Amino acid sequence: MPISTGDRIPAATFKVMTDDGPAEMSSDALFAGRTVALFSVPGAFTPTCSAKHLPGFVDKADEIRAKGVDEIVCTAVNDAFVMGAWGKSAGADGKVTMLADGNGDFVKAIGLTMDASGAGLGMRGQRFSMIVRDGVVTTLNVEAPREYNVSSADHLLGQL
Whole-number Å distance between alpha carbons of 51 and 31: 28
According to DSSP, the residues that pair with 74 across neighbouring strands are 39, 98
Half-sphere exposure of 95 (CA within 13 A, CB side): 19
Whole-number Å distance between alpha carbons of 50 and 35: 25
DSSP 82-135: HHHHHHHHTT-TTTSEEEE-TTSHHHHHTT-EEE-GGGT--EEEPPEEEEEETT
49 catalytic residue (yes or no) = yes
Burial class (CB in 10 A: 0-12, 13-18, 19+), 12: buried
Choose among 128, 131, 113, 23: nearest CA to 77: 113
Q: Select which of 12, 49, 83, 110 is catalytic.
A: 49
Please identify every residue annotated as catalytic.
49
